[in-house]
Amino acid sequence: MSEAQTLTTPDPVGGAAAPVGQTGTVSRASAWRRLLKNPMGVAAIVLLGLAGLAAILADVLAPFDPNFADLTAVLLPPGGEHLLGTDSAGRDIASRLLFGARVTLLSAALAAGVAIAIGLPSGLVAGYYGSWFDGLSNWSTNILMALPSMIVLLAVRAAIGPSTWVSMIVFGVLLSPGYFRLTRTAVQSVRDELYVDAARVSGLSDLRIIGRHIFTVVRAPIIIQTAMVCGIAISIQSALEFLGLGDPTVPTWGVMVSDGFRNIYREPLNLLWPTIAISVVIGAFVLLGNALRDSLEDLEKTKEKRTKPARRAKVAPVEVGTEHHLLKVTDLAVAYPQPGGGRKTVVDGVSFHVDRNEVVGIVGESGSGKSQTAFSILGLLPDNAIIAGGAIQFDGSYLVAPGEDGVSQGRLAPLRGKRLAYIPQEPMSNLDPAFTIGSHLARPMQKVLGLSKEAARARALELLASVGIPDPARTAKAYPHEISGGMAQRVLIAGAISCDPDLIIADEPTTALDVTVQAEVLDVLRGLQARLGMGMILVTHNFGVVADICDRVVVMQNGRLVEQGDVRTILRSPSHPYTRMLLSSMLEGKEPMTRLLGAAPEALEVAR
């Protein structure tokens, strides 16, 4: 297996590959370009660049030696040959600021480098392998984190003497647990992913897997953490030297702050210059960390520069002659902005309607736009999704009026739960493990229907019984992990009908269930729909489910509607080649393969 993989654009909601015929690869703007487009990042880079240049060119730019003392020029104000004045020993402040930048920035880099050298490799190994090394590393980091950093640094200074470099090495060791925990947590979150298993199966060594597949996960957080750590290291180093614990012969900003503070009443400006330098550099590191976070971690959250159309004060009346439809979707188009500019359309020109007491199935393969259409009706599209065209009307009112680029949440909020309900396809992941089944059902009824706690509990038991759960009282007291997947799906169905909705949208409600439980759940849905007379949209890729429960069917391919009609007509005489292809992919009527053990003796001999 090759390590180079072709990346396809995922469906923004469903996770499926992009439909055939649409662009499958997204040309992302590089993190560097995104950083340079961020004013905050540009400001940080400029400030740190100037500080770095000052440190590198200090020998050229400084007018005096930083330790040259002129006792005849003590505490001079700014001006003349001393641009920023002199300190209490007659040393030129501008020269000491330039040389101080060198020592201060190098000390910050040293602390961050030591922390990374210890925390990053140990976090990678502990997160990937676990075992005894993970336990030992955790124990060690817990001890280091329990140590008071300032007291440790004071003890080191007392034992070794005033050394900026030794202090920063020790401080880097004390900072390493942060890198360790950050790295370990990130690695543990991906070490069991399928692509890591595939790399193992393909024969790649652990070192190669960690370097190529695991390290990329922690790279962005480490860079952001380092920007923050450098600012912290500068503040700690300056604090130690302000307390008089640094080497007075080494020009640093902290030593200058200490000298300026002692003479604050004689020459206040001597304290101002190093304080400004420290504040600006630390602030630049903070800005850089935030800008890096935006450029490295938020690449998916792209925003298209567009002018939104003005919202209408009054919503236009719905299309004449369609008021009797419970739901009508007209020429719906859904698009997503791309990092390089432009839009990618995932649903285009979809039109259908749903009447009361009717089940309409939306069928298509993964990536055909089924879920995007359903989520458009429910107002559950991602924030960056755009309704690029069309309209959605529900019971005589617009949810999306022509010309609007999204569902009106103000119009949708009163409908959710009460008149519009949703059944998701993953039953276990949609139940909060911290609450009982009874709480999941009762609380919405208290909120939406205004029922008392006792009445809501009684109705919850009735709902559980109506969906075929044999012991409603016991199930209501259970937590989600204590029930099966089939029962969890029944609970979600009970929750969907709890507030007597007019329309239910079921997004592949039987996909995660085995065949026997699928049939039972479909029986429950069919019985409830017939008894309550509600409309239903069933999103599925299985024509067998459509034949079992639906009245009409809508077939989608590549985000477009290719065929629709009543189920009997579509199943018996489909007009579109794609529909015929979907029907031919079903297993019904296929000749099963002959088992090898049941083959003729001559066939067995050939097999040998």
The three-state DSSP-derived secondary structure of 86-101 is: ECCCCCEHHHHHHHHH
Maximum alpha-carbon separation in the chain: 113
Q: Which CATH architecture has domain 330-584?
A: 3-Layer(aba) Sandwich (3.40)
The pLDDT tens digits of the residues spanning 540-559 come to 887 878 888 888 999 999 98
Residue 420 reports pLDDT greater than 50:
yes
More confident residue, 321 or 248: 248
Average pLDDT over residues 413-433: 79
pLDDT of the residue at 187:
86
Give the pLDDT mean for 96-125.
89
494's tokens = 């009970």
* pLDDT exceeds 70 at position 15: no
- Pick from 52-56, 195-199, 203-207, 276-280: least confident: 195-199
Digit-coded pLDDT (tens) for 215-269: 877 877 888 888 888 888 888 888 888 887 777 778 888 888 888 888 888 888 8
In angstroms, the first-to-last Cα distance of the chain is: 30
**pLDDT one-digit tens code per residue, 501-532:** 889 888 887 765 666 666 777 777 777 777 77
Strand partners, 536: 359, 504
Q: Alpha-carbon distance 209 to 197, whole Å? A: 10
The strand pairing partners of 104, in sequence order, are none
Alpha-carbon dihedral sign for residues 466, 522, 393, 337? positive
Higher pLDDT, 418 or 280: 280
Q: Which long-range contacts (CB under 8 A, 24 or more apart) does 468-471 make?
A: 468/520, 468/523, 468/524, 469/494
**Which of the four pLDDT bands, split at 50, 70 and 90, describes residue 591?**
low
Q: What is the pLDDT of residue 549?
A: 84
A 10 A CB-CB count for 577 gives: 11
Mean pLDDT throughout 565-589? 83
Please check whether residue 364 is in contact with residue 556, taking contact to mean a CB–CB distance below 8 angstroms: yes
Q: What is the pLDDT of residue 590?
A: 52
| pLDDT band per the 50, 70, 90 thresholds, residue 26 | very low
Is the whole model's pTM more than 0.75, yes or no?
no
Quote the radius of gyration of the chain (alpha carbons, Å). 34
Give the closest residue to 367 by CA, choosing from 556, 140, 536. Answer: 556
Of the given ranges (62-76, 197-211, 394-408, 564-578), which has the lowest mean pLDDT? 197-211
* Separation CA 387–CA 9 (nearest Å): 19
> Mean of the pLDDT values across residues 130-144?
87
CA distance 286 to 282: 6
Provide, rounded to the nearest whole percent, the portion of the chain with pLDDT above 70: 83
Cα atoms in the Cβ-side hemisphere of radius 13 Å centred on 345: 15
Kindly state the average pLDDT of the residues 296-319: 44
The more confidently predicted of residues 5 and 239 is: 239
Q: pLDDT grade, residue 301 (50/70/90)? A: very low
Residue ranges of the alpha helices (H) in 331-436? 370-378, 409-412
Higher pLDDT, 114 or 131: 114
Angle, CA 525 vertex, CA 523 and CA 529 arms, to 5°: 120
- SS3 category, 533: coil
83 has a pLDDT exceeding 90: no
Give the chain's mean pLDDT.
79
Q: CA 469, 470, 473, 474 torsion: positive or negative? A: negative
Looking at 122-136, 367-381, 412-426, which range is the least confident one?
A: 412-426
Token pair recorded at residue 279: 């504040």
Q: What is the reported pLDDT for 415?
A: 82
Mean pLDDT of 482-498: 85
Give CA 503 to chain center in angstroms: 31
Q: Name the CATH superfamily, with its identifier, for domain 46-297.
A: MetI-like (1.10.3720.10)
Virtual torsion, Cα 489, 493, 498, 501, nearest 10 deg: 150
Beta bridge partners of 359: 536
Domain ranges of the chain: 46-297, 330-584
Please report the pLDDT score of residue 589 as a whole number.
54
